[in-house]
Structures are given as structure tokens and as C-alpha cells.
Amino acid sequence: MYYIMLTARISSVFKKITYAALRSGRNPEEIKLIAVTKSQPIDKIIESVDLGLRVFGENKVQEAKQKIEKLNEFNFNIKWHMIGHLQSNKVKEAVRLFEIIHSVDSDKLAILIDKEASKIKKIQRALIQVKLSEEETKYGINEDAVEEILELSKKLKYLQIEGLMTIPPYFVTPEDTRPYFRKLRQIKEELSQKGYPLQELSMGMSNDFEVAIEEGSTMVRIGTAIFGPRIN
């Protein structure tokens, strides 16, 4: 029964991604789906791999590590993204587990990631998490501090910043998130014009990913719309 629901949800999400891209004049292939598996059990993740999903997001290093180790036994060709706040004492583990870290939110963290990545000679791909509202989101840096991290990261050989990420406040009406997504794209475009090589915009979750795609998202992070409610 779950498998059938999962099939329907995944195809519905892909359809919505495709239509949102097409109605805003974009190529649907520019948008990567990151299936957010936090609080979801291993067997559901395996079923979703069977149904074609290949990129997964987790927000806690410890939980991710357990899942990744289990799934490694199957030799699936899958990738993991770190989408939650990264604590200093988890950086070493994180650079071993994740293809992309979406949540660089301080100079200190950037330096630490570079240091740990250098030890294993890995170029760690990452995004800067930007905080665009005062109230709701706890993590992320203010807009005016983004360039400082980009400037610093020029000197960090093993940290490769590829774009920006944001988590807007939750709104019942998805349309209300549009100004936040538009703002993140503007910040990215301004910095690109200054010569920083930013390609990715990680924005959009279950409730608002279509709006995010219309505003230029290249990575949507979707949990409940694929797996159903999280069990805690």
C-alpha cells in the first residue's frame, strides 16, 4: 500500500516540477529533486530508490550516518545532501558523508569544512544559507555577510561554494513565499555579476516548491510531499 502511495506522490511531484519549469520558460532538467528523508525509516527510502530517486537530504549528521551506512550495503548509486545546521564537532563526519552541504552559515564553519576536506583531499561542494527574515528561521547569515564568506572561500582550496540556500518563513499560502525566493535570486545575480561563480539556488519545500521553481530554484528539498508525514 505504501509503495503505491509513494509511486503516486513521486510522479505528482515530478509533474509539478515539470509544469512549474515550463510555465516559467525553464528547462525542467535544470531542477534537481532532493528527497528529504529525515525521520523516515530505511525501508521507505529503499522503496523510493527502487522508484528512481537518487539524491537524498538529511538535517542531522548522526541520523544520516546510520542510514547511509545501512544503505551502502546495497551499493545503490545515491548521493546525500546535508540540509540542516552543521555543528563544528560534526564537520569531520559531514565531509565524509555528503556530496553537498547546503548550510554554510559562518566564516568559522567555512574554514572548518575546508580543513577537514583537505585531510581527505576532497573538494567539498557547498552552499551558503542566507537568512532573509528575522523571525522564523534560526540559522543562516544575513544578506550583507554573504560576500565576506565568498571572499574568504576564494582562499579555501577544498571548499567550493556553488550557490545559495534559504528557508523562508512558513506561510499557509505558498504565494506568500515568493518575495523571499525572488530576493535570494537577486542576491545571487548581484554576486554573479561581481564575478563569484554561483550557479545553484536551493529553495522550495513541499508547500512552496512550485513558486520557488518559478523564481529560479535549481534544487528543491521535498520531504512530506513524497514520503508523507514524518514520524518522530
Ligand X SMILES: *Cc1c(COP(=O)(O)O)cnc(C)c1O
| Interaction of residue 224 with ligand X, rule CB under 6 A | yes
Q: Nearest approach, Cβ of 144 to ligand X (angstroms)?
A: 22
Contact residue for ligand X among 140, 168, 216, 223 (CB under 6 A): 223
| Interaction of residue 211 with ligand X, rule CB under 6 A | no
Fill in the per-residue mask, 105 to 134: x = in contact with ligand X (CB under 6 A), - = not in contact. ------------------------------
Q: Nearest approach, Cβ of 195 to ligand X (angstroms)?
A: 28
Cα 74 from Cα 194, distance rounded (Å):
44
| Interaction of residue 221 with ligand X, rule CB under 6 A | yes
Burial class (CB in 10 A: 0-12, 13-18, 19+), 14: middle
- Output 6 or 36, the one with its CB closest to ligand X: 36
Under rule CB under 6 A, how many of the chain's residues touch ligand X?
A: 14
Cell reading at 185: 535570486
| Interaction of residue 35 with ligand X, rule CB under 6 A | no
Give residue 189's Cα distance to chain centre.
19
Cα 164 from Cα 199, distance rounded (Å):
8
| Interaction of residue 38 with ligand X, rule CB under 6 A | yes
Q: What is the 3-state secondary structure (H, E, C) of 201-226?
A: EECCCCCCHHHHHHCCCCEEEECHHH
